[in-house]
Amino acid sequence: MNYSDPHTERVLEFNKIKKILSRKAASVLGEEACLNIKPIADRREILLEMRRIEELKEILLASNYIPLHNIKDIKPLFKKVESGGILDPAEVKSVLSIIHTSSAMKSLVKEKLYPDLWKITKEIKLLPDLDNLISSSITPDEKIADDASPQLSKIKKDERILKDRIQKELTSILKKEKDSVAEDFITTRDGRWVIPVFAAQSRIKGIVHGISQSGATLFIEPLATVDMNNRLKTLECEEEEEIHKILRTITDKIRESLDAIKSNFAKLRYLDLIYAKARFSIDFKCTPPELNRNGYTKLIGGRHPLLGEDTVPLDIYFGNSYTTVLISGPNAGGKTVALKTIGLLTLMSYCGLEIPAKEGTEIGMFTKFYADIGDSQSIEENLSTFTAHLKEIKRILDNSDKNTLVLLDEIGSGTDPVSGESLAMAILEELTARKVRVVATSHYTNLKLWVHSKKGMTNGAMEFDLNTLKPTFRLKLGQPGSSYALAIARRVGLSEKILSNTENILEKDKVKLDELLRELEEKNLDLKRELDALKEKGSTLNSSIAEYERKLAGVKKEIKRLRSEAKKEAHKIVDEGRRTVEEVVKKIRESTAEKSTIKFAKERLAHIEKSLQEEETQHPIEVKRGDRVYVKKLKSEGTVEIVVGNSVWVNMGKFKISVPNTGIEKL
């Protein structure tokens, strides 16, 4: 979106969203960025921004911390450095905060975990040399460190030694001249070390640097310490000059790295904006919407962020089969709130914010977006509400095309109903003909009927519960809403005479329409209750199905186990049969039987094995549990326990066996 309309932002109260967002930022830089957010022109950039929000939410949910709180606003320092000025210690410390925070963010954001945020932090330039220079030169309380340079270190040492000598000398004088000393302490005046003495009886020679308010006490620098104080002043001048050199050196180094510092500063400002958006998303339970270029909007469970979590979520779809939606319903039924919710969530999406709506929500991308909502009376221009609305609508008509979204509250209101309805019809017809996406609200009966008959338009109704006489704030598309004036009046007990006169005065068609709408509303509520009941039954049925599936799985598992056991048992029986036959053959051999006899025995064994195999290809027979059967290959009887497909489990007494139903005979 490349068009931002101030009037639209104002009527949607977008400034309130900006203020809430700014309070989520970690620094004044982020606050400033939040208060200045604008719609982003490129859809890909919006989607990238939302992916970065998701990544930062992951960081916050994992650690609940991000190192952005120490950022200082150093923009005013850029010009000072560029113009050749020298930064003071506090200003240098502010630059160091940017260097440290930049380094911390670069270390925090890993490419594999947060690839889209990494695209920002990978461009951050580390400045270790400048970091070391500033850190070793400036103390945490924004003073120049005593060892910031060898020369400063020597000066500081000389100053300490000299101060100690001065204080010892003054202490000695205080002890010797007790009668002349007003108070037993050493102090300074105008940067010189002095002692307080009585003005009337002082015998101490020296330079007076001050008098008490009563005039009774003089602050004297004794002659014995004058030379030492002079030397101390010289050292202090040398200290100031050395500090100036140190700050000049540091500022020069900052100037050399200024481009990198500016770049890092801008990235931190942007990262703080993403941080604020991530916190907003978490606090308001937002999701990233899909953004489509096909001109339709599908809002699922959308909530107005300024109305709290208790607000009824909004579902609405428009922009494909119909481009214009006219929402109607009772007063205070939520029409304007619905309009503002659509507008605010759309504008938030364009600004790269996630929105309080359910997954699957789609927002259409438009190049222009206008909203005319609320009382537009212009005191400054002495315009009526109707005239002010018309001026805004003219501006909308002059600039709207198929890539425009328009929201119009109480279209055509503010004048007589006949003229207002006609004007509203003409405006909606023109906008629909241009394929402008329009959502409007109205009370006009004839306008609802007209929209119902027009191609590309549809009605929407704000639901109303006649049992409680309260709006439900739910929107239903495809039917107009009623004002419910007579129904509400009758329910609250207004006399039938007045109601009857009202119905006679009203146009018959309008009364019939309102009655029809009321009946439709009641039927819809009945259908909704039936649907809820069916859903509840469906839930119970699903639970039963799940339980039966669990039991069936258990049965299948048991069958598998029994098959395995039966297979093992069958192999055991066959093996025993083989051993028996072999023993018979052995005995035959031992009994010196003829070869023909041995051959006959082996052929008989082969015939038995072949018969067992052929049984599996025979035609199946139908049996059921409890039937007595003859198992051919075992030549034994048993009782059917389970029938599973083409297999039959037969209880043989000591064991159970699974055989194909072609291998049994029913007894």
Average pLDDT over residues 645-662: 81
- Regarding whether 114 and 180 lie in a shared domain, the answer is no
Query: In this predicted structure, what is the pLDDT of residue 4?
Result: 65
Q: What is the pLDDT of residues 261-302, one digit of tens each?
A: 999 999 999 999 999 999 999 999 999 999 999 999 999 999
- Regarding whether 641 and 604 lie in a shared domain, the answer is yes
Q: Could you tell me if residue 249 is inside a domain? A: no
Taking CA atoms, 53 is separated from 47, 280, 287, 306, in Å, by 10, 10, 10, 21
Distance CA 48, CA 364 (A): 17
Amino acid at 619: H
Q: Could you tell me if residue 523 is inside a domain? A: no
Place of tokens 């509840």: 536
Average pLDDT, the chain: 85
- Regarding whether 591 and 554 lie in a shared domain, the answer is yes
Average pLDDT over residues 363-367: 95
Share of the chain above pLDDT 70, in %: 83
- Regarding whether 107 and 46 lie in a shared domain, the answer is yes
- Regarding whether 331 and 468 lie in a shared domain, the answer is yes
Average pLDDT over residues 400-417: 92
Query: In this predicted structure, what is the pLDDT of residue 521?
Result: 64
Q: Could you tell me if residue 549 is inside a domain? A: yes
Average pLDDT over residues 109-117: 95
Residue 126 is encoded by which pair of tokens? 């580390």
Q: Is residue 593 pLDDT above 60, yes or no?
A: no
Q: Could you tell me if residue 512 is inside a domain? A: no
Q: Picking from 301-310, 517-526, 573-582, 655-664, which range would have the lowest pLDDT averaged per residue?
A: 573-582
Q: Which of 462, 465, 405, 468 has the alpha carbon at shortest distance from 431? A: 405
Residue 300 is encoded by which pair of tokens? 């699922």
Give the Cα-Cα-Cα angle 394, 400, 401 (nearest 5 degrees): 150
Q: Picking from 28-32, 157-161, 499-503, which range would have the lowest pLDDT averaged per residue?
A: 499-503
CATH assignment of the domain containing 494: 3.40.50.300
**Is the Cα torsion angle 587, 589, 592, 598 positive or negative in sign?**
positive
Query: Helices 14-22 and 258-283: crossing angle, nearest 10°?
Result: 110
Q: Is residue 604 pLDDT above 90, yes or no?
A: no
Q: Which of 103, 435, 468 has the alpha carbon at shortest distance from 296? A: 435
pTM to 2 decimal places:
0.70
Residue 266 is encoded by which pair of tokens? 């801008």
Distance CA 173, CA 426 (A): 103
Q: Could you tell me if residue 84 is inside a domain? A: yes
- Regarding whether 229 and 271 lie in a shared domain, the answer is no
Query: In this predicted structure, what is the pLDDT of residue 301?
Result: 95
Residue 305 falls in which region: left (phi positive, over 0), alpha (psi -120 to 50) or beta: alpha
Average pLDDT over residues 76-94: 96
Query: In this predicted structure, what is the pLDDT of residue 49?
Result: 97
Q: Could you tell me if residue 636 is inside a domain? A: yes
Q: Is residue 305 pLDDT above 80, yes or no?
A: yes
Out of 506, 530, 556, a domain closes at: 506
Hey, which of 55-64, 252-261, 531-540 has the most confident mean pLDDT?
A: 252-261
- Regarding whether 469 and 348 lie in a shared domain, the answer is yes
What is the four-CA torsion angle of 345, 348, 349, 355, rounded to 10 degrees?
Answer: -60
Q: What DSSP line would sit under 301-342, residue for residue?
A: EE--TTS-TTSPPEEEEESSS-SEEEEE-STTSSHHHHHHHH
* 57 contacts: CB under 8 Å, gap ≥ 6: 278, 281, 282
**Is the Cα torsion angle 347, 349, 352, 356 positive or negative in sign?**
positive
Q: Picking from 309-313, 535-539, 638-642, which range would have the lowest pLDDT averaged per residue?
A: 535-539
CATH assignment of the domain containing 87: 1.10.1420
- Regarding whether 340 and 470 lie in a shared domain, the answer is yes
3-class state of residue 15 by DSSP: helix
What range defines the domain where residue 383 resides? 290-506
- Regarding whether 105 and 63 lie in a shared domain, the answer is yes
- Regarding whether 413 and 321 lie in a shared domain, the answer is yes
Say which DSSP state 620 is in.
P
Length of the chain: 667
Hey, which of 87-91, 210-214, 511-515 has the most confident mean pLDDT?
A: 87-91
Q: Is residue 565 pLDDT above 70, yes or no?
A: no
Out of 457, 482, 506, a domain closes at: 506
- Our count of domains for the chain comes to 4
Q: Could you tell me if residue 524 is inside a domain? A: no
b/e sequence 515-549, b meaning 16+ C-beta within 10 Å? eebbebbeeebeeeeeeeeeeeeeeeeeeeeeeee
- Regarding whether 373 and 332 lie in a shared domain, the answer is yes
**Is the Cα torsion angle 645, 650, 651, 657 positive or negative in sign?**
negative
Q: What is the pLDDT of residues 37-83, one digit of tens each?
A: 999 989 999 999 999 999 999 999 888 889 998 889 999 999 999 99
Residue 309 is encoded by which pair of tokens? 């979590």
Residue 12 is encoded by which pair of tokens? 């949607």
- Regarding whether 37 and 179 lie in a shared domain, the answer is no
* 658 contacts: CB under 8 Å, gap ≥ 6: 562, 563, 566, 567, 647, 648, 649, 650
Query: In this predicted structure, what is the pLDDT of residue 382?
Result: 46
- Classify residue 500 as exposed, middle or buried by CB count within 10 Å of its CB (0-12, 13-18, 19+): exposed
Q: Could you tell me if residue 295 is inside a domain? A: yes
